[in-house]
């Protein structure tokens, strides 16, 4: 097996899959409201439709973007167009 060194540009974790969570907003409810939730209930979020969505890995914000609908064979599927990306290579 080849040894990976720091100077060769290859990182041993480059191929590890990461799950990204896209957050469109938060709802704030009292416990009694939560207990009354039923099918077809509508929750008001703290964001507007034109506001950017946040992308997280775990609890770390990594990017912001806009929701889009994919055309063609995947019509109806949601996608995110990134508008801001944090420096993921930085040490902090």
Residue-range domain boundaries for the chain: 17-85
- The 3-class secondary structure across 41-66, one letter per residue, is CCCCCCCCCCCCEEEEECCEEEEEEE
% of the chain residues with pLDDT over 70: 87
Alpha carbon distance 22, 57 (integer Å): 9
How would you classify the pairing of strands 21-23 and 78-85?
unpaired
84 forms bridges with which residues in the sheet?
64
φ and ψ at residue 45, rounded to 5 degrees = -100, 165
Question: Which homologous superfamily does the CATH classification assign to the domain defined by 17-85?
Answer: SpoA-like (2.30.330.10)
Q: Does the pTM of the predicted model rise above 0.85?
A: no
Q: Which of 4-8, 72-76, 80-84, 87-91 has the lowest mean pLDDT?
A: 4-8
């Amino acid at each position: 097996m080849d040894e990976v060194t720091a100077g060769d540009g290859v990182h041993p974790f480059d191929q590890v899959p990461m799950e990204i969570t896209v957050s469109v907003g938060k709802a704030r409810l009292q416990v009694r409201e939560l207990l009354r939730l039923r099918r077809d209930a509508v929750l008001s979020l703290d964001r507007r439709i034109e506001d950017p969505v946040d992308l997280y890995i775990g609890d770390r914000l990594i990017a912001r973007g806009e929701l889009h609908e994919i055309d063609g064979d995947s019509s109806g599927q949601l996608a995110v167009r990134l508008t801001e990306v944090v420096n993921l290579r930085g040490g902090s």
